[in-house]
Amino acid sequence: MPDLLPLLSGAIPWQAVRGDALAVLSLLPPDSIDAFVSDPPYGIGMELGTAKRRTRIRGDGKAEARRLWERFVPLAARAARPDSAHWFFGTWKSPWMAEILAASFTLKGCAVWVKPQWGLGFYLRPRWELAYLAHKGRPPLPAKADCDVWEAARDNLTLHPCRKPVPLLRRAIRMALPVERRDPARPPLIVDPFAGVFSTGVAAVEEGCRFLGVELDARFCRTGEARLRAARGDQTT
């Protein structure tokens, strides 16, 4: 089991854990995490690779993703700081996501990520994804409310087929943790329990926040760690 104390105490700025989100979430002390900004499996059977060699994104089968959400959401809510805001990406194809989130958090809205690139589809070719804004308690009102349609170009998907753009994640972080409310002596701690190649981590570093990322797949985790080191300008990869 990873030792999370150095990160939780602020002694180190980030930590990457190759392992199971549920195991790591259950180690987090209650009321300790400033913001979850996460993109968990959607339950749509996402695959990667070529037609000859396909591998599935872990946990992305319909039933297994739902079971995963049912288990991780209450753990995240328990670990979240009182009066805090969180973002969870999702899809209309799995309508149970909103129900599961609403059982542990208060859902305050849903932002739509619009991309210039068209996805694949027989009837409609999607150009958007969604992210739920979930509150624990009552975080202070923002100085100015943001619009709920966010435009950002999709990144190259060779590193990870579900990779989210860093500018989009920075916008989510700034909304959850407005810069003017942060304590410069204690940078906020952001957690992504389904980190993929750590795009949330790169956004957290660029926002001057601490970060904990958990990823089951060793290859993604290695790539993610390298991206984090590069984002911090750390040469010791």
15 belongs to the binding site for ligand SAM (CB under 6 A): no
Residue 108 Cβ, how far from ligand SAM at the closest point, in Å?
A: 21
Q: How far apart are CA 110 and CA 3, in angstroms?
A: 34
Q: How far apart are CA 210 and CA 197, in angstroms?
A: 17
Residue 81 Cβ, how far from ligand SAM at the closest point, in Å?
A: 22
Judged by CB under 6 A, the number of residues near ligand SAM is 20
109-137 CB burial, b ≥16 within 10 A, e <16: eebebebeeeeeeeeeeeeebbbbbbbbe
Q: What is the dihedral of CA 54, 57, 61, 62, to 10 degrees?
A: -120
111 belongs to the binding site for ligand SAM (CB under 6 A): no
Q: How far apart are CA 156 and CA 116, in angstroms?
A: 13
220 belongs to the binding site for ligand SAM (CB under 6 A): yes
Q: How far apart are CA 46 and CA 183, in angstroms?
A: 39
25 belongs to the binding site for ligand SAM (CB under 6 A): no
Closer CB to ligand SAM, 70 or 83, in the complex? 70
Amino acid at 32: S
Q: What is the dihedral of CA 158, 162, 163, 165, to 10 degrees?
A: 130
**Footprint (CB under 6 A) of ligand SAM, residues 35-94:** 39, 41, 57-59
Residue 184 Cβ, how far from ligand SAM at the closest point, in Å?
A: 27
Q: Looking at beta carbons, which residue is closest to ligand SAM?
A: 196
Closer CB to ligand SAM, 91 or 142, in the complex? 91
Chosen residue from 86, 136, 163, 171 binding ligand SAM by CB under 6 A: 163
Q: How far apart are CA 182 and CA 179, in angstroms?
A: 5
Q: Are strands 54-56 and 128-136 parallel, antiparallel or unpaired?
A: unpaired
217 belongs to the binding site for ligand SAM (CB under 6 A): yes
x/- track of binding to ligand SAM for residues 173-212 (CB under 6 A):
---------------------x-xx-x-------------
Residue 158 Cβ, how far from ligand SAM at the closest point, in Å?
A: 12
Q: Which helix (H) or strand (E) holds 205?
A: helix 199-206
Q: Which residues bind ligand SAM (CB under 6 A)?
A: 20-21, 39, 41, 57-59, 160, 162-164, 194, 196-197, 199, 214-217, 220
